[in-house]
Amino acid sequence: MNFEYAKDSKEQRPYEHYLNAYREMDPKEISGRTGIPYDEEKGLFTVKLMGSTYQVSFPDYEIHHVEDWAKVYPLEEAMNAKILIVRFLTERSAAPASGKFVTYHDVPWGEVYFRQFQGRCLFRLAFGYGNKLPVFRKIMEHLGAKKCSEGDCSYELEFMDNLYVKFILWEGDDEFQPSAQILFSDNFAVSFAAEDLAVVGDISINMMKALEKKLS
């Protein structure tokens, strides 16, 4: 599967930092702040990510998926996903969505990190699926995403509970290269920093690539 693992301290050290903080926290406080359900008797959080449900233990942070139709489970296997979620549990808070979507430029510090986001997410999405719209549709339908009207092909996906990402593609041809846009529900800016949103895009596209292999 096309998932990223911690190969050096660049990912391992942040992971250990947040993991240590997580283990020292009150799980009830985490649940109240993030809105993620916690079963005190079992010592488990129930986390939803890209349509799949995971049981996350406290304080060990052991992760196990609930078997479903997806057959691809990044939160179990991808270090960037593990860091994103443990960081959310330790530092972030849930916020309601207004129904509006914003570009990466619109979030605080988005302009500073845009070049990274463009390379890691927009270009990968455009050149990965801009000339393979039927494959993109199949993946999005498999994930239960909602079809939208923007661009030549677009879908809205619930990344986590009440946090939505919209993927928009414009098909390439002999004259123009394919292009893409990724929009975020406006509550993402409350729950995550700009650097985190690049990881959200990265996890999502890695999931698409893994599903493409599964569905082919």
User: Is residue 189 in a domain?
Assistant: yes
- Are 209 and 116 in the same domain? yes
- Are 24 and 67 in the same domain? yes
pLDDT in tens, 15-45: 999 999 999 999 999 999 999 999 999 999 9
The pLDDT-based confidence of 3 (bands split at 50, 70, 90) is very low
The predicted structure's pLDDT at residue 5: 42
b/e per residue, 161-174, with b = 16+ CB within 10 A?
A: eebbbbbbbbbeee
| Phi, psi of 117, rounded to the nearest 5 degrees | -60, -40
d(CA 7, CA 10): 8
* Residue 203: domain span: 101-215
* Residue 13 burial by Cβ neighbours in a 10 Å radius (0-12, 13-18, 19+): exposed
Q: Is the pLDDT of residue 137 over 90?
A: yes
- Are 82 and 126 in the same domain? no
The predicted structure's pLDDT at residue 9: 53
pLDDT in tens, 179-196: 999 999 999 988 899 999
Q: How far is CA 102 from CA 60, 71, 85, in A?
A: 35, 30, 22
b/e per residue, 48-62, with b = 16+ CB within 10 A?
A: bbbbbebbbebeebe
- Are 58 and 163 in the same domain? no
- Are 135 and 110 in the same domain? yes
d(CA 81, CA 3): 9
Tell me the whole-structure pTM to 2 decimals.
0.91
d(CA 143, CA 23): 32
Q: Is the pLDDT of residue 142 over 70?
A: yes
The pLDDT-based confidence of 76 (bands split at 50, 70, 90) is very high
Q: Which of 170, 176, 172, 198 is nearest to 103 (CA)?
A: 198
